[in-house]
Structure 1
Amino acid sequence: MSNAVGAIATRDNMSVRVAVVTGANKGIGLEIVRALCRHFGQDGVVYLTARNEGRGRAAVELLQKEGLDPKFHLLDVTDQASIDTIRNHLEKEHGGIDVLVNNAGIGTSKDNSSFYEKQFRVMEANFFGLLSVCRSLTPLVRSGGRIVNVASTTGYMVFREQLTEEIRNRFRQVKEEQDVVNLMNEFLECCKMETNAANGWSEWSYGVGKLGVILLSKMQAEKISLDASKQDILVNACCPGFVQTDMTAHLPDNQYGYNKVTTVEGADTPVFLALLPPGVKEPNGQFLLKRKIYDFINTDVSIQI
């Protein structure tokens, strides 16, 4: 009898919808988890992940007091062993996932480390960490799945205002994931040599990394579309807006000419993309702000936060 009950439990575990949100113990990530928990109810499992176990479990307890039931899993996106651990857990417990929201990221630190060290840490978390998570978890995404990469309009600002036309054209000409990776590595090499301006690059690692995420999302969408074993999987990047979080607390409300928005408002577009209904074809491989598509890389469209 116990074996039969165990078999039923396993089948149920494998059939529920599973969502994973990185960097989710506070701010926009926490709000995304809250929204997904409310949407799924008892018909899904939402993993709140964080690199700090204490803060992650405290966030889970906060949501539990609201009547929600997220699960916690430790995840440091800059540590491949940590990524492997959650991947193995998800595969064993659920056989796959249905929603992946890559929200984890950091801002530029104010410490006394070198220019290169500061830029490297930002790129490691915001671009290369996201890339590592995608490479490990995308194979688990089931048909009908949704991948949302949280980017930023700072990528737009860098592209339009801080890169030479030669560098912009190289971003326009990327054909595959590795092309984007090569550009990000080139940026870091310029940071190491402190030759950014001389080589046509910005010095703003946060914006460059988010630009990389936007291009990476397009390449990921195109690659998945060629995989016959994966049907109806959509990959998009988005900007939550100028949101009131710990990362923006030091910036004035009118930094970009607009007032900061709440985390609830910031979570709206990521959640919208995570819950795109089955069978829709668009958006896919796009960058969105306030649920609107902006192809600023190939068109002259302007973006207002």
Structure 2
Amino acid sequence: MSKKVALVTGANKGIGLAIVKGLCEARYPGDVIVAARSEALGKAAVEDLKKEGHTAVFHQLDITDPASVQRVKDFLEKNYGGVDVLINNAGIAFKAAATEPFSEQVEVTLHTNFFSTLCVCRALLPLVKPQGRVVNVSSFTSSQALAQCSPALQARFRDPALSEAELCALMQDFVSAARTGTHRELGWPSSGYATSKLGLTALTRVQARQLSQDRPGDGILLNAGDPGWVRTDMAGPNAPKSPEEGAQTLLYLALLPPGATAPHGELVSEKKVQEW
């Protein structure tokens, strides 16, 4: 039950797979779990890693399915007594050429990137062991989205006392405004993806504050990591970074040494805390 374990969501390709490789190359002293929605793709990724000399474990996880999240929780509790490193990487983005209505894009994107990630956190954060590390994979676009919000919305997102319930209500307000086409006049940005990451960065601050209050002596560090613009199926072939380069900041946060006290509750890009 004392064996260490690191779990990476959305890990069968792209940045998630690069994070898994990075953990293996860093000789992470425990099991590294490739969590992915597709069993076939997840197991294929584990086999590819094996050919490169890396050992990883597959576990099915669809973050949008509460039953799937519960199965992962049960697995971690039974086999490891918790989780030492949790990297919330799974997410989606519509292509620029997507034909779905904006309201639909917003609803689907926020359901996955914000609300489903929150579902994973609610299930797994209580399992994080002392000295654990949690990384929410956010984006530099979260800062851009914040800058595009009205001053009133900016103040609400930056409120140091913002609660999880208040943040969820804010994100639902955006979904509702997009549905009625009033998001711009109500002070919201015009990007579902960037706003979903704004919510995730704000959630990180809320979660870190709560952890510090509830488990002050456990030394858990929880941050939002920005991989930058990375060449993936999601971001396209013209991005300047490889997945391995994009994973560097996320690995830095996941492997912060025991006893470290910072960063915590921050948005970190290029291994540096960003003003937000």
1-structure distance, mates of 2:7, 2:217? 19
Partner secondary structure for residue 152 of structure 1: coil
The offset of 1:112, in angstroms, is 4.0
Match of 2:191 among 204, 209, 217: 204
Alignment partner of 1:49 is 2:25: no
Contact 1:108 1:119 in 2 (8 A): no
Contact 1:28 1:266 in 2 (8 A): yes
The offset of 1:169, in angstroms, is 1.2
2-structure distance, mates of 1:85, 1:117? 29
Contact 2:32 2:57 in 1 (8 A): yes
Contact 2:84 2:133 in 1 (8 A): yes
| Number of the residue aligned with 2:111 | 124
The offset of 1:84, in angstroms, is 0.4
Contact 2:135 2:254 in 1 (8 A): yes
| Number of the residue aligned with 2:182 | 195
Match of 2:3 among 16, 22, 28: 16
Q: Percent same amino acid among aligned pairs? A: 43
Contact 2:230 2:243 in 1 (8 A): yes
Contact 1:142 1:230 in 2 (8 A): no
Alignment partner of 1:156 is 2:143: yes
Task: Give the letter for the 1:95 counterpart.
Answer: G
1-structure distance, mates of 2:261, 2:250? 17
Alignment partner of 1:61 is 2:41: no
| Number of the residue aligned with 1:98 | 84
RMSD (CA atoms): 1.4
1:81-140, CA deviations, whole angstroms, 9 ceiling, x for partnerless residues? Answer: 110011111111111110000000111155543322211111111111111100000111
Work out the number of aligned pairs and report it: 274
1:175-231, CA deviations, whole angstroms, 9 ceiling, x for partnerless residues? Answer: 222221111111001011111011111121100110111111111111011124860
Contact 2:49 2:55 in 1 (8 A): yes
Contact 1:224 1:230 in 2 (8 A): no
1:1-305 → structure 2 map (5 Å cutoff):
14-40=1-27, 43-109=29-95, 110-160=97-147, 162-173=148-159, 174-228=161-215, 231-249=218-236, 252-253=238-239, 260-296=240-276
Relative to structure 2, which stretch is displaced further, 173-182 or 96-105? 173-182
2-structure distance, mates of 1:112, 1:214? 28
1-structure distance, mates of 2:143, 2:48? 35
The offset of 1:38, in angstroms, is 2.5
2-structure distance, mates of 1:136, 1:283? 23
Task: Give the letter for the 1:38 counterpart.
Answer: E
Greater relative CO (CA pairs within 8 A, separation 6+): 2
2-structure distance, mates of 1:202, 1:226? 32
2-structure distance, mates of 1:230, 1:111? 47
Change (3 A) 1:39 1:16: farther
Contact 1:80 1:132 in 2 (8 A): yes
Contact 2:156 2:162 in 1 (8 A): no
Contact 1:100 1:147 in 2 (8 A): yes
The offset of 1:248, in angstroms, is 1.4
Task: Give the letter for the 2:110 counterpart.
Answer: M
Change (3 A) 1:230 1:179: farther
Partner secondary structure for residue 166 of structure 2: helix
1:10-39, CA deviations, whole angstroms, 9 ceiling, x for partnerless residues? Answer: xxxx12210000000001100101111222
2-structure distance, mates of 1:92, 1:16? 11
Gaps of 5+ in 2: none
Partner secondary structure for residue 31 of structure 2: strand
TM-score, L = length of structure 2: 0.95
Larger radius of gyration: 1
